[in-house]
């Protein structure tokens, strides 16, 4: 047990009072409409979604998981955490496309991308799956808090699981997403402060960065300071093949939607942003701060390894970062540290309570049960479902003991068999609802067989993580590719409407050509015609000729709305540079904290690269946002039509 002074209790209590009391300030905003309760009215500046992305990524289980992989693998374990880098490309590709769709959730997006009964089945399936997954996530995050409570106060695990989550539910029920996002901002500040302080104190406890490096050399563990210390191409416990697999999962996954378990809560942040530009910067900044956080954590965990080497049980050493804070901080700061733990717990719990309620309320209740429900009824249902999710999470939490194992398996379920379909649904016009639905069905069965059942019965030995990923993806492809090609493509009218609204990247040439043929897009400018976009008429022929007279600069800095709609070399420059910048931030900070020579160079590269990304893409994002805002009201009106799903399907198939 850890001794708390009166000052420690003051700080912890003051934080809880601020969070719960502040929720009532946003009560009136949350009750106004479904959009306010679940998306804060779609008008947040980029820095609020950014802080929410970071806070949601920083749950009570996160330092346990990061500690687990760094304690076992050293700095090379940082690549386990690099899945967050989907935001590097996703910020400028999938976030841009998804924000333009205006869909409340990934489930609702299905009926915009696909049509007919297949789309409705997908929406219902994804909504139900996400209600379950949010309870599952709430359970493992709650169990992590239970383990912290046992470490600090000697409580039974269920006490830490239940009571902090109940406190979170109080302000989430009252304030909805307004309470979530504003709470995340405050919680993020507290969490960053604690992470910085505990990391630096942990390094100082060993004697400083130079002494830490020297101790690791004396122990024969110098390889732990090298993020690229692979054990071979395919051999050992951390082969280069796994590193390359993780890069593919994270970086290429940014072209899709749902390629990471984190996509689903971040989709809510994307839609709550005030514009396409705010959505892109919010997701990018939140992802970058998260990877920088991982670098600070990694350095402190190496310090913990030096202070407490040789711990064999994962459930014991994954508490290492918490032990550094509670055992090394002085009285007064322990309370601040505990408040930070409450902050990272409350932020994630509140996010997933609100998100799970969104999927049930919007995608199940309103779509299929009561499409004409009033705004007041929808908010009431959202609050009721929040309470049900809370109770379900307690059940799942009590089933979990080892956080790392559950989290990695959940990541595999969400990324392996459906990783490629989640990309194809964005970039390939021919991929249809039946192909995507078959991918989900196949993935759920095959994942259990490959990861758990067949190895348990000795059919084949447990496979390394990277082989599991490629095998699950290949087996899934044997199902969804034939299914896609043997069923009809989506109706061209439906695809054109989706294309004009979202302007997806990739292989959409047949849809684009048909839109041009119908006069819906002016081929010279890429502008959207008056009949589909209201005020956004195509540019005149004279304007097009005038624009073509001047040579195009290598990096274009002045954009018309029509020009900015297209995917150009500026987008691809940012797509290539952004993952490099995020990797440099993560490895550079971790190396800098140990005073390694490459740390300064990588951190400087990341800072300069961030400025270059902004310089290249900001003029284009401003033009895209300004142009789209003119049409957003019309698209929102279409989205909110209270049509029963049976009538919607009948209309599309007529």
Which residues does 407 contact at the CB level (< 8 Å), separation at least 6? 61, 65, 140
The two structure tokens encoding residue 390: 């809370």
Q: How far is CA 439 from CA 110, 218, 600, in A?
A: 14, 50, 44
The two structure tokens encoding residue 338: 């505990």
State in Å, rounded, how far the first CA of the chain is from the last one.
Answer: 68
Say yes or no to pLDDT of 524 above 80: no
Q: How far apart are CA 35 and CA 37, in angstroms?
A: 6
Last residue of a domain, one of 564, 579, 602: 564
Task: Report the pLDDT value the prediction gives residue 75, as an integer from 0 to 100.
Answer: 95
Whether residue 647 lies inside any domain: the answer is yes
Measured over all CA atoms, what is the biggest interatomic distance in the chain, rounded to whole angstroms?
Answer: 77
Task: Report the pLDDT value the prediction gives residue 161, as an integer from 0 to 100.
Answer: 82
∠351-141-255 over CA atoms, to 5°? 60
Say yes or no to pLDDT of 240 above 80: yes
Domain that holds residue 528: 507-564
Q: What is the dihedral of CA 95, 98, 99, 103, to 10 degrees?
A: -150
Q: What is the pTM of this model?
A: 0.87
pLDDT, mean of residues 328-340: 89
For residue 152, give the nearest of 327, 406, 401 by alpha carbon: 327
Last residue of a domain, one of 549, 564, 579: 564
Q: How far apart are CA 632 and CA 103, in angstroms?
A: 12
Whether residues 354 and 430 fall in one domain: yes
∠165-259-117 over CA atoms, to 5°? 95
For residue 436, give the nearest of 448, 450, 413, 420 by alpha carbon: 420
75 within 8 A of 227, measured Cβ to Cβ: yes
pLDDT in tens, 254-294: 999 987 778 888 899 999 999 999 999 999 999 999 999 99
Whether residues 97 and 217 fall in one domain: yes
Q: How far is CA 487 from CA 432, 436, 441, 479, 544, in A?
A: 8, 12, 17, 13, 41
Neighbours of 316 (CB within 10 A): 12
| Strand partners of residue 528 | 521
582 within 8 A of 88, measured Cβ to Cβ: yes
pLDDT, mean of residues 64-88: 91
Whether residues 434 and 542 fall in one domain: no
Say yes or no to pLDDT of 398 above 80: no
Whether residue 171 lies inside any domain: the answer is yes
* Helix, strand or coil, per DSSP, at residue 168: helix
Can you list the alpha helix ranges (DSSP code H) found in 237-275?
A: 240-251, 263-272
218 within 8 A of 377, measured Cβ to Cβ: no
Task: Report the pLDDT value the prediction gives residue 165, as an integer from 0 to 100.
Answer: 82
pLDDT, mean of residues 154-167: 83
Whether residue 261 lies inside any domain: the answer is yes
* H/E segment holding residue 527: strand 527-528
Q: How far apart are CA 430 and CA 28, in angstroms?
A: 45
pLDDT, mean of residues 6-21: 82
Matching residue, tokens 């912290």: 148
Whether residues 469 and 529 fall in one domain: no
Banded model confidence at residue 530, pLDDT cuts 50, 70, 90: very low
Whether residues 546 and 402 fall in one domain: no
Whether residue 187 lies inside any domain: the answer is yes
Banded model confidence at residue 29, pLDDT cuts 50, 70, 90: low
- DSSP conformation class of 368: I
Which residues does 390 contact at the CB level (< 8 Å), separation at least 6? 138, 165, 166, 169, 353
Which residues does 217 contact at the CB level (< 8 Å), separation at least 6? none
Task: Give me the helix-helix angle, 47-57 and 263-272, nearest 10°.
Answer: 160
- DSSP conformation class of 222: G
pLDDT in tens, 448-484: 788 778 888 888 888 888 888 899 899 999 999 999 9
Whether residues 535 and 574 fall in one domain: no
Banded model confidence at residue 415, pLDDT cuts 50, 70, 90: low
Say yes or no to pLDDT of 532 above 50: no
Whether residues 554 and 587 fall in one domain: no
The rounded radius of gyration (Å) of the Cα atoms in the chain is 25
Last residue of a domain, one of 546, 564, 582: 564
Whether residues 462 and 526 fall in one domain: no
Round the average pLDDT of the chain to a whole number and report it.
85
Whether residue 646 lies inside any domain: the answer is yes
Whether residues 154 and 165 fall in one domain: yes
Q: How far apart are CA 559 and CA 571, in angstroms?
A: 13
Higher pLDDT among residues 217 and 537, named by residue: 217
Whether residues 401 and 471 fall in one domain: yes
Weakest mean pLDDT among 302-306, 347-351, 535-539: 535-539
Share of the chain above pLDDT 70, in %: 88
Whether residue 575 lies inside any domain: the answer is yes
Q: How far apart are CA 231 and CA 234, in angstroms?
A: 8
Whether residue 502 lies inside any domain: the answer is no
Task: Report the pLDDT value the prediction gives residue 434, as an integer from 0 to 100.
Answer: 97
Q: How many domains does the chain have?
A: 2
- DSSP conformation class of 46: T
Task: Report the pLDDT value the prediction gives residue 520, as an integer from 0 to 100.
Answer: 85
The 8 Å CB, 24+ separation contacts for 595-603 are 595/209, 595/210, 595/213, 596/213, 596/225
Query: What are the b/e assignments for 214-224, b being 16+ CB within 10 Å?
Result: ebbeeeeeebb
335 within 8 A of 11, measured Cβ to Cβ: yes
- DSSP conformation class of 522: E
Q: How far apart are CA 558 and CA 620, in angstroms?
A: 8
Whether residue 527 lies inside any domain: the answer is yes
For residue 178, give the nearest of 20, 40, 270, 17 by alpha carbon: 40
Query: What are the b/e assignments for 232-249, b being 16+ CB within 10 Å?
Result: eeeeeebbbbbbebbeeb
**CA 149, 153, 158, 163 torsion-angle sign:** negative
pLDDT in tens, 602-631: 999 999 999 999 999 999 999 988 777 777
Whether residues 168 and 36 fall in one domain: yes
Whether residues 513 and 647 fall in one domain: no
pLDDT, mean of residues 568-596: 96
């Amino acid at each position: 047990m850890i001794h708390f002074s009166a000052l420690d209790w003051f700080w912890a209590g003051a934080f809880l009072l601020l969070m719960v009391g502040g929720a009532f300030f946003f009560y009136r905003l949350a009750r106004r409409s479904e959009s306010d309760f679940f998306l804060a009215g779609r008008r947040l500046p980029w820095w609020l979604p950014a802080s929410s992305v970071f806070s949601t990524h920083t749950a009570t289980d996160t330092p346990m998981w990061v500690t687990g992989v760094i304690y076992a693998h050293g700095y090379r374990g940082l690549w386990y955490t690099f899945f967050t880098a989907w935001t590097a490309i996703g910020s400028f590709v999938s976030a841009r496309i998804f924000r333009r769709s205006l869909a409340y959730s990934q489930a609702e997006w299905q009926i915009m991308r696909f049509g007919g009964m297949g789309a409705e089945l997908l929406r219902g399936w994804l909504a139900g799956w996400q209600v379950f997954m949010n309870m599952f996530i709430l359970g493992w995050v709650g169990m992590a808090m239970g383990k912290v409570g046992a470490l600090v106060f000697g409580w039974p695990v269920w006490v830490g699981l239940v009571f902090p989550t109940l406190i979170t539910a109080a302000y989430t029920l009252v304030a909805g997403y307004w309470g979530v996002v504003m709470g995340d901002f405050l919680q993020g500040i507290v969490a960053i402060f604690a992470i910085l302080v505990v990391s630096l104190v942990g390094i100082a406890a060993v004697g400083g960065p130079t002494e830490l490096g020297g101790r690791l050399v004396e122990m024969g563990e110098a390889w732990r300071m090298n993020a690229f210390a692979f054990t071979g191409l395919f051999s050992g416990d951390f082969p280069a093949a796994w590193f390359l697999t993780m890069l593919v999962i994270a970086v290429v996954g940014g072209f899709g939607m749902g390629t990471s378990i984190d996509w689903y809560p971040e989709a809510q942040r994307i839609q709550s942003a005030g514009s396409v530009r705010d959505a892109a910067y919010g997701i990018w900044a939140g992802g970058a701060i998260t990877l920088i956080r991982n670098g600070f954590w990694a350095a402190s965990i190496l310090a913990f390894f030096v202070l407490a080497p040789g711990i064999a049980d994962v459930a014991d050493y994954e508490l290492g970062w918490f032990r550094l804070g509670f055992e090394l901080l002085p009285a007064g700061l322990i309370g601040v540290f505990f408040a930070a733990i409450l902050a990272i717990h409350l932020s994630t719990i509140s996010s997933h309570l609100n998100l799970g309620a969104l999927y049930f309320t919007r995608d199940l209740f309103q779509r299929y049960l009561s499409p004409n429900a009033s705004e007041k009824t929808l908010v009431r249902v959202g609050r009721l479902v929040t309470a049900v999710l809370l109770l379900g999470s307690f059940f799942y939490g009590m089933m979990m003991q080892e956080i790392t194992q559950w989290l990695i398996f959940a990541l595999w379920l969400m990324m392996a068999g459906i990783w490629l379909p989640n990309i194809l649904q964005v970039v390939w016009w021919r991929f249809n609802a039946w192909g995507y639905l078959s991918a989900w069905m196949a993935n759920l069965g095959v994942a259990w067989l490959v990861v758990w059942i067949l190895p348990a019965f000795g059919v084949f030995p447990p496979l390394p993580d990277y082989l599991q990923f490629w095998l699950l993806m290949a087996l899934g492809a044997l199902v969804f590719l034939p299914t896609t090609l043997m069923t009809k493509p989506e109706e061209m009218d439906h695809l054109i409407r989706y294309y004009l609204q979202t302007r997806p990247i990739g292989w959409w040439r047949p849809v684009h050509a048909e839109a041009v043929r119908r006069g819906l897009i002016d081929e010279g400018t890429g502008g959207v015609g008056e009949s589909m976009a209201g005020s956004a008429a195509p540019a005149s022929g004279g304007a097009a000729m005038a624009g073509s007279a001047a040579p195009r600069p290598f990096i274009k800095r002045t954009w018309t709305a029509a020009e900015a709609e297209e995917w150009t070399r500026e987008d691809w420059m940012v797509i290539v540079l952004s993952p490099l910048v995020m990797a440099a931030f993560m490895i550079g900070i971790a190396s800098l904290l140990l005073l390694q020579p490459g740390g300064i160079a990588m951190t400087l590269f990341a800072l300069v690269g961030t400025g270059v990304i902004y310089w290249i893409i900001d003029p284009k994002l401003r033009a895209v946002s300004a142009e789209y805002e003119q049409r957003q009201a019309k698209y929102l009106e279409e989205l909110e039509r209270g049509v029963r799903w049976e009538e919607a399907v009948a209309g599309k198939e007529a």
